[in-house]
Amino acid sequence: MEGKGTATIHDVTPTSKHQPGKLSDSPRLKELAAQRQKLNEAMERAKKRLGTLNSYLDRVSTEHTSVVQLRDILNLYEEEAEKLQGRMKEIQSDLELVTKSEKDENAAHPPTIARWVYGASIGLFVPEAGALEIMVTYGPCSALCSLPQANPFYSCLQCFLVCPIRCPCLNE
């Protein structure tokens, strides 16, 4: 920390804060998530029905079933399995469309990424108006400055990762 001008640096407090990522709150994304949930539930039901149909066919005994009945059972199995597999393909196709729509919507309304924000709070005593420069030397890459605009004097007191700063309230 280094300063030039008519001010005294009283304290410097480094800070860090984790900002969690946030998913987009687009209403369209919420609709797509509900649609995805319904499609996943429909897929599970279709899989269970097909599994039940397969286990029924596994338990059919040729000893206790006539050839005519067996033919009817196999024909019924073919029809039902074909319907279920067709339905599963439709559901899979719908899921792919939902995924594509979600990607498009996320591109239009991207979610924020979790990150760490590092800063420094600088306490100054400024006895008179004048030019003031504060030099903060800090190691991270991609450091940014955020100065509040409402109160220029507050800008002198709270400065975030800047190298160098010209104090707006003291340059008048």
Model confidence at 19: pLDDT above 70: yes
DSSP 65: S
Model confidence at 99: pLDDT above 80: yes
Range from 77-81, 86-90, 165-169 carrying the lowest mean pLDDT: 165-169
Q: What is the pLDDT of residues 127-144, one digit of tens each?
A: 888 888 887 776 655 545
Q: Where are the beta strands (DSSP E) in the chain?
A: 2-5, 8-19, 115-125, 132-135, 158-159, 165-166
pLDDT of residue 2: 80
Distance CA 155, CA 55 (A): 74
As a whole-number percent, the residues of the chain with pLDDT over 90 amount to: 31
Model confidence at 29: pLDDT above 80: yes
